């Protein structure tokens, strides 16, 4: 039922996008893409926007799914930890405003350095297992969508979302909220692709785990469990 899954992905993304646009059309300013924190705030923030909240939720869901893959699909564990660690780093980055405001200034950078260092160290130590896991899953729709999402988030948004670009395009009519709106909605597209890729990768990993022969110890354990159930 592959076609049905992709139809559901399309409908879900279309519904969320429609809901966000209708929210702003029905009540201008409801997306909160430029919230001024005080009278002296000249730039404002978009951290309270439903768009940013949805992005954080998507990252949390991706992290949970990758944790499930790492736990239940042993051969794909290095890949799952790599993608799950990246989702965690993105999640911390999305919460930078709240860390700075309610915890300690730039504390989120310390967390990212720690998480990134652990992830790099694990990836280096598990590089052979990572190559094996990649060989078993590439090419695949899940990894392709994960790659597409990464291209949008790491390359496209960083270049198109530059303030200097929009100042050059709009000239005297430049308004920061235009730049923020474009940047956040493009990021949302990247996160949508990342989430779909995560789901597809998890389904493929489950299929690989189911097709792999079980170790003898595990087979004996399952046999004993079935035998024990049959005695009562």
Residue keyed to tokens 């597409």? 148
Inter-residue long-range contacts of 46-55, CB under 8 Å, 24+ positions, other chains counted:
46/180, 46/184, 47/97, 47/98, 49/184, 50/20, 50/23, 51/20, 51/184, 51/185, 51/188, 52/94, 52/184, 54/16, 54/20, 54/188, 54/191, 55/94, 55/184, 55/187, 55/188, 55/191
Q: How far apart are CA 25 and CA 28, in angstroms?
A: 6
pLDDT digits (tens, 9 = 90+) for 24-38: 898 888 888 877 777
**What is the full per-residue pLDDT of the chain (232 aa) written as tens digits?**
778 889 999 999 999 999 999 998 988 888 888 777 776 666 667 778 889 899 999 999 999 999 999 888 888 888 889 989 988 988 988 888 888 777 888 888 889 999 999 999 988 988 888 888 888 888 888 889 999 988 998 888 888 888 888 889 888 888 888 888 888 899 999 999 999 999 999 988 888 777 765 554 455 555 666 555 555 4
In DSSP terms, which residues pair with 45 in a beta bridge?
35
pLDDT digits (tens, 9 = 90+) for 148-198: 988 998 888 888 888 888 889 888 888 888 888 888 899 999 999 999 999
For the residues of 25-47, what is the DSSP string, one character each?
Answer: HHSTTTT-SSB--STT-SS-B-T
**Could you give the angle at the alpha carbon of 150 between the alpha carbons of 8 and 158, nearest 5°?**
120
């Amino acid at each position: 039922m592959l076609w049905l899954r992709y139809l559901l992905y399309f409908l879900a993304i279309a519904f969320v996008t429609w809901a966000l646009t209708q929210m702003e059309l029905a009540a201008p300013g409801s997306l909160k893409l430029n919230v001024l924190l005080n009278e002296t705030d000249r730039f404002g923030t978009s951290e309270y926007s439903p768009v940013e909240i949805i992005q954080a939720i998507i990252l949390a869901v991706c992290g949970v799914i990758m944790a499930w893959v790492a736990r239940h699909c042993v051969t794909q564990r290095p890949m799952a930890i790599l993608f799950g660690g990246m989702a965690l780093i993105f999640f911390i980055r999305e919460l930078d405003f709240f860390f700075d405001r309610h915890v300690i200034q730039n504390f989120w950078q310390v967390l990212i350095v720690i998480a990134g260092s652990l992830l790099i160290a694990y990836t280096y130590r598990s590089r052979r297992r990572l190559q094996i896991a990649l060989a078993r899953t590439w090419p695949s729709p899940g990894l392709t969508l994960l790659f597409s999402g990464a291209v949008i988030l790491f390359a496209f948004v960083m270049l198109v979302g530059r303030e200097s670009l929009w100042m050059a395009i709009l000239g005297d009519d430049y308004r920061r909220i235009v730049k923020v709106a474009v940047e956040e909605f493009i990021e949302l597209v990247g996160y949508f692709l990342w989430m779909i890729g995560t789901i597809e990768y998890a389904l493929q990993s489950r299929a690989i785990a189911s097709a792999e022969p079980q170790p003898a110890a595990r087979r004996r354990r399952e046999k004993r469990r079935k035998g024990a159930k049959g005695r009562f």
